[in-house]
Structures are given as C-alpha cells and as structure tokens.
A and B are shown apart, each in its own frame.
Chain A
Amino acid sequence: MHAQAPALRDPRLNHPEPFTPPLGDGGFFQRDRSMHPPAHAPGYKSSVLRSPRQALLSLENSDSEITGPVFGHNDLGALDNDLIRNYAKDGDPVGERIIVHGRVLDETGRGVPNTLVEFWQANAGGRYRHKKDTCLAPIDPNFGGCGRALTDDTGYYYFRTVKPGPYPWRNYVNSWRPAHIHFSVFGSGFAQRLITQMYFEGDPLIPVCPILTTIPDKDALERLVAPLDLNASAPFDSLAYRFDIVLRGQRSTYFENRTAGN
C-alpha cells in the first residue's frame, strides 16, 4: 500500500472541504449476455440438459469476484508456448506451421498484463490427443496439442503451433467443427474468467457450425475469427494469425489507493 493521495479540491469553491467524487467499487462492468451464447441453445444439442432454467442471480462484485489467482513464470516451462516442440519425440509435427499472437485487453482498451492464457487444439488432421477421442484421423506422434503463455506488460502473448484440422462430431449426422483453437484466459479477477474458441479467416464451415452459431450477435461471432496476419509471419517458416481477446472492464476505485481499475 502506498501513501494516501491528496484529495482534490474543487477550484470553484473557496471552501476548506475537499471535493470528493463518488466512490467506485472496483467491480467489473456488467456482462452483456446478449452478445454471449445463451445457456440453452437447442441447435447445440448437449446444451439442452446442461443449461439452467432459473434466472441467474446478479451479484454486485465483492472481493470474492474482483480478486483472482495470480500466476508467474515459475508456473510455466520454457517450451510451454511452442506446440511445434513441446511434444516433439522424433521430429516436427505434420501440418501448416503458424504463429498465433495478439493482446489480452479489457473493455477500456487497456492491456491485461501478466495473465495466464492457455490453449488446446486438435492436430492437422482434426484428431485430439485425448483418450475419449475416437475419430479416424491418426494421432501425430510429435504433437501434444496444448500450451500456455503469460501476457507481457502490455498484455501481449504469442505461441507457435500447426493449424488444426476440422473434425466431425455427433450433433447432427453430418456436423463438422471448423478449424479452431480453444482459449482459456484468467484476467485479474475471477469474474473475468473466460473460455472461448478462435477460428480462422475464410473457413467455410464457420457459418454452419452449431456451436459457433449459438452466438446471437454477428459482430461478436466475427470477433472470434482470427485474420491472417502476413506482417507477423516468419518468411519460409510460419504464417501468422492475430487474435485479440477482450475481457471485462473494471470500474475505478477513486481515492482508495488500489491497483484495480485505473
């Protein structure tokens, strides 16, 4: 805790009392749930039995919600953000080599520094390294399919991988997921916790995916589609895709001498 900042005086008043703006509480901006997929989205069949029927109870944020776990470089290994090498046994994985990079921001546009970003995906043929995946495409002996990174002081993260393939799944008889990478992001408070999926520019499976189209807001859906970023590619090595992630913004805690918000 640093020293108390001096209170502002309203210069219009020749009065000894300081001018004190209303106290913010450091809570997060209310989540706009009209932009997120609804819990009950029957086109994605497994949501039917797994969605609450009662309304959510809205909660003003207390310390329980504005705080959250803190991670450091001690939690990570040197190859954690390199999926080309972090499971390599006797060579590189097969597939299109890509760099995925971007910033984790909050709704006010500030970078979210030192936050944990985790990602997982299928291999180039659309097969997951998971004991429950029985899809026909083979496992790649040199590809695990997961990684993680801490954002830097500006909220920037990056990792290297191969582009995942689409895969079939049991929803309708002929449902295929677009190529995608799953993302898990923490932010600074537990109420910012988010899991989402990144898709790739130009994929024709995007508009027919029963999971992706649970998102009612067209713009929100398009923000999950990462554009090709030729400027960030590594010539004769890897193409690049850019994926920025926005977490909830936070109200200021005026004159409370806390790091939250401003």
Chain B
Amino acid sequence: MPQPLNYLKETASQTAGPYVHIGLIPAMAGFDIFEKNFSNVLVTPNTQGERITLEGKVIDGSGTPLRDVLLEIWQANAAGRYNHSADRSTGALDEEFRGWGRAGSDFESGLVTFETIKPGAIIDKTGRKGAPHINVWIVARGINIGLNTRLYFSDEEAANAADPVLNLIEQPVRRSTLIAKRSECAGKIVYSFTINLQGPEETVFFDV
C-alpha cells in the first residue's frame, strides 16, 4: 500500500441565508454595532484612477431581481496591481486602495452599487496582458456556494477581444454576459451590469 496523502478536506460551504446583512452589513439589518464598517465605497479622496460607479442587479430564473443578495468585489488598482503580497505585476502599489468592497442589494429594487476606480490591465505570469476586470463573488439565500464571475468594460473592446479568460468561453455569445456597459450620468461614469443566475442569458460563472 502506498502511504496516504494526509491533506485535510475543505470545509463545506453553506448558504449565507436571508439575514447575511447582520454579520456583514449590520446597518442594512437595521442596527449599528461596529466602530468601523466595511462598505461598497472602495475609494478614498487620495486613491489614484478614474472614478466609476458599478450599478447592477442579480436576476433569478424567473426574471425577478434578488433583493437579499450580497456581492463582494476584488480588483487591481489603476496601475493593474493587486494590494497583496502575492501580486506579480510590475504596476505601482496604491496605499490608498485596498481593492475590496461589499454591497447588499436594495431591499425594494434589488439594485447593487459600488463606488470604485477602473482597474488597470493585468499582466499574467506568462506575460500576457489581460483586459481590465473586476472579480465578483455572490452569496444569498438559495445560493449554496458562492458564485464567482468577472465584470469587464464595454469601452475596452480590443483588450476584451484578446483577454485569455474571455477567450476560454467557448460560445462568443456567452462572453457578452460579462461586459458591463459604460454610460455617463450627471457627470458620473457608470458601468451597468446584469447577473442572470439562470436561463437563456445566464451569466458565465467560474470554478476558480
């Protein structure tokens, strides 16, 4: 008999449930408890880069927006660098940008928003340039294990066409589910997105 490989097993996921806000965004549950709260605003006044608003909804298989969903985003700074020791890019670190935020959907409309900056392009380990993107993680009642997807930008057509991850998606029609649409609204740059959990225009989700 060979010796057993004694790896541990990952702890199983469970749904975040309908009251996820209590732990992760207590103000949305209706009370104030922590001195410092995490939020959907990733920028400080000194953060480098173009200010953008992400605005979107998560839709279930019946076409109804989820009104109890929680999203987290993780992204590089304007120079394409993640604020983490394992980042291998050459872009400069921005001390004023953690790169992470979380937001709950509005209990009435289901709208989710983030205030952030547009990330720079990422150079992968083989030197290939990836299109600017934002990593998204979705949890909610009825979602047993967090869903991972990405948001790309509609005004980065050339970079998107060359992106190694978008090009892993076999059907070109499905690539479009990851592209957030740019518009200007009262001087603000807004990228709108729709995440369809299920159905004919289902968003691409990744096993990362």
A positions within 8 Å CB-CB of B: 25-26, 28-33, 35-39, 41, 44, 46-54, 56-59, 61-70, 74-77, 80, 86-87, 105-109, 118-120, 128-133, 144-146, 148, 182, 184, 188-191, 193-197, 211-212, 214-215, 217, 219-221, 223-224, 245-249, 256, 258-260
> B158 interface residue, CB < 8 Å from A?
no
Interface CB pairs A-B, < 8 A, 13: A46-B141, A50-B197, A51-B142, A52-B203, A53-B198, A54-B205, A70-B84, A77-B36, A118-B24, A119-B23, A129-B29, A195-B15, A224-B14
> B120 interface residue, CB < 8 Å from A?
no
Q: Which residues of B contact A44 (CB under 8 A)?
A: 15, 142, 144
Interface of chain B residues 12 through 34 with chain A (CB within 8 A): 12-24, 26, 29-31, 33-34
> What string of 1s and 0s marks CB contacts (under 8 Å) between B71-89 and chain A?
0101010000011111111
Q: How far is the CA of A219 from the CA of B8 in the complex (A)?
A: 12
Q: Which residues of B contact A35 (CB under 8 A)?
A: 9-10, 12
Q: How many A-B residue pairs have CB under 8 A?
A: 276
Q: Which 7 A-B pairs have the closest CB atoms?
A: A120-B23, A46-B142, A69-B100, A67-B84, A50-B142, A37-B144, A67-B82
* Identity of the chain B residue whose Cβ is nearest the Cβ of A215 in the assembled complex: B12
Binds A, one of B49-57, B59-67, B110-118, B180-188: B59-67
* Identity of the chain A residue whose Cβ is nearest the Cβ of B37 in the assembled complex: A75
> B190 interface residue, CB < 8 Å from A?
no
CB pair A50–B86 under 8 Å, yes or no, is no
Q: Which residues of A contact B22 (CB under 8 A)?
A: 120, 128-130, 144-146
Q: How far is the CA of A139 from the CA of B21 in the complex (A)?
A: 17
CB pair A195–B139 under 8 Å, yes or no, is yes
B197 partner, pick from A51, A86, A224, A248, beta carbons under 8 A:
A51
CB pair B15–A211 under 8 Å, yes or no, is yes
CB pair A182–B198 under 8 Å, yes or no, is no
Q: How far is the CA of A170 from the CA of B35 in the complex (A)?
A: 34
CB pair A50–B14 under 8 Å, yes or no, is no
* Identity of the chain B residue whose Cβ is nearest the Cβ of A261 in the assembled complex: B86
* Identity of the chain B residue whose Cβ is nearest the Cβ of A190 in the assembled complex: B74
A80 partner, pick from B34, B107, B122, beta carbons under 8 A:
B34
> B1 interface residue, CB < 8 Å from A?
no
Classify chain B's interface size: 35 or more
Q: Which residues of B contact A38 (CB under 8 A)?
A: 144
B positions within 8 Å CB-CB of A: 6-24, 26, 29-31, 33-36, 38, 60-62, 64, 66, 68, 72, 74, 76, 82-89, 98-100, 107, 122, 124-125, 130, 133, 135, 137, 139-148, 150, 165, 168-169, 174, 197-199, 202-208
Q: How far is the CA of A260 from the CA of B82 in the complex (A)?
A: 14
* Identity of the chain A residue whose Cβ is nearest the Cβ of B196 in the assembled complex: A52
Chain B proximity of A251: nearest CB distance (Å): 12
Chain B proximity of A70: nearest CB distance (Å): 6
Q: Which residues of B contact A29 (CB under 8 A)?
A: 7
Q: How far is the CA of A21 from the CA of B53 in the complex (A)?
A: 45
Q: Which residues of B contact A59 (CB under 8 A)?
A: 165, 168, 206-208
Q: How far is the CA of A245 from the CA of B82 in the complex (A)?
A: 26
Given A63-B125, A148-B34, A245-B11, 10 other A-B residues pairs in contact with their CB atoms under 8 A:
A38-B144, A51-B197, A51-B198, A75-B38, A120-B23, A129-B31, A133-B19, A195-B13, A195-B20, A196-B12
Q: Which residues of B contact A219 (CB under 8 A)?
A: 9
Q: How far is the CA of A220 from the CA of B34 in the complex (A)?
A: 33
Q: How far is the CA of A26 from the CA of B205 in the complex (A)?
A: 22
Q: How far is the CA of A118 from the CA of B122 in the complex (A)?
A: 30
Chain A proximity of B115: nearest CB distance (Å): 16
CB pair A62–B130 under 8 Å, yes or no, is yes
Q: How far is the CA of A256 from the CA of B14 in the complex (A)?
A: 35
B86 partner, pick from A37, A74, A258, beta carbons under 8 A:
A258
Known contacts A39-B145, A67-B86; is A32 also within 8 Å of B36 by CB?
A: no
Q: How far is the CA of A37 from the CA of B15 in the complex (A)?
A: 9
CB pair B144–A246 under 8 Å, yes or no, is no
A49 partner, pick from B89, B142, B165, beta carbons under 8 A:
B142
* Identity of the chain A residue whose Cβ is nearest the Cβ of B36 in the assembled complex: A75
CB pair B202–A53 under 8 Å, yes or no, is yes
A25 partner, pick from B7, B100, B125, B130, beta carbons under 8 A:
B125
